[in-house]
């Protein structure tokens, strides 16, 4: 598993980027120090929105990997096992599937690793961390959703802070812990202190005039908790 997953990082989500200038926006956060780029994939079934496919990952791969950064793909889709190889082949370093979307979660995690990517599991806000009891030794990353998945710009669900603490105590130390949704400079430090080491941020990075400055503010806030 890439060492970057064990470090503390803000992972900018391109869901909130300007897709008419996606390469420029991603380059801006990479230049500001981002080393994990988060790609949200939605199918209009598992969540009520449709976003992107492997072609975007293929297009971003030279830019992201050229900067020494990782592509972190979050599959908010039904039947994710059908697309694991396509995203791994496109350049995804991490592929995360939803526990709620996988009938045979262990099999899918093994499939992701066999495809050459780190294997992640995401949990919706209402899904207890304890549902991963039988697969926690087979995950490289667990992603806690602190908003209901499907749209960017949502408000952080406050009970997620306690869930992060419980998740960190429940998971092996080798498993990275990612928090996704509602991350700002005001709560980033508390989230890291609770046990998260990867913070997915969309609108708080890409929502203003100076992308690099906004990324730097979040990174500083997260780093202060170390």
**Closest by CA position to 162, among listed 142, 131, 191, 183:** 191
Tokens of 78: 């039904």
What does the pLDDT read at residue 207? 83
What does the pLDDT read at residue 152? 64
For 35-80, the pLDDT digits (tens) are 999 999 999 888 888 889 999 999 999 999 999 999 999 999 999 9
Spans of the chain, pLDDT less than 50 = 1, 226
Q: List, in sequence order, every residue forming a beta bridge with 18; answer none if it has no partner.
A: none
**Do 1 and 142 contact (CB within 8 A), yes or no?**
no
Q: The domain containing residue 145 runs over which residues? A: 3-223
Q: What is the pTM of this model?
A: 0.95
**DSSP letter (8 states) at residue 50:** B
**Do 36 and 141 contact (CB within 8 A), yes or no?**
no
Buried b (16+ CB within 10 A) or exposed e, 140-170: bbbbbbbbebeebebebbeebbebbebbbeb
Q: What's the structural domain count of the chain?
A: 1
Residues that are catalytic = 40, 180
Tokens of 132: 């991963």
What does the pLDDT read at residue 1? 45
Tell me the CATH number at 69: 3.20.20.70
**DSSP letter (8 states) at residue 13:** B
**Closest by CA position to 15, among listed 66, 49, 63:** 49
Q: Helix, strand or coil for residue 119?
A: strand
């Amino acid at each position: 598993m890439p060492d970057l997953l064990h470090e503390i990082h803000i992972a900018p989500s391109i869901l909130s980027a300007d897709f008419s200038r996606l390469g420029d926006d991603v380059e801006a956060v990479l230049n500001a120090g981002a080393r994990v780029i988060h790609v949200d994939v939605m199918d209009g079934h598992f969540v009520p929105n449709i976003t992107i496919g492997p072609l975007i990952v293929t297009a971003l791969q030279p830019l992201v990997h050229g900067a020494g950064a990782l592509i972190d793909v979050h599959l908010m889709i039904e039947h994710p096992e059908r697309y694991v190889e396509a995203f791994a082949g496109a350049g995804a370093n991490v592929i995360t599937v939803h526990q709620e979307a996988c009938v045979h979660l262990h099999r899918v995690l093994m499939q992701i690793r066999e495809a050459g990517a780190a294997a992640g599991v995401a949990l919706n806000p209402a899904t207890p961390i304890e549902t991963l009891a039988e697969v926690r030794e087979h995950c490289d990353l667990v992603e806690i959703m602190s908003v209901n998945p499907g749209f960017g710009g949502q408000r952080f669900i406050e009970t997620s802070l306690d869930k992060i603490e419980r998740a960190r105590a429940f998971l092996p130390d080798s498993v990275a812990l990612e928090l996704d949704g509602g991350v700002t400079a005001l709560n980033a430090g508390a989230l890291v202190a609770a046990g998260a080491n990867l913070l997915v941020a969309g609108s708080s990075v890409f929502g203003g005039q100076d992308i690099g400055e906004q990324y730097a503010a979040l990174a500083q806030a997260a780093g202060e908790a170390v």
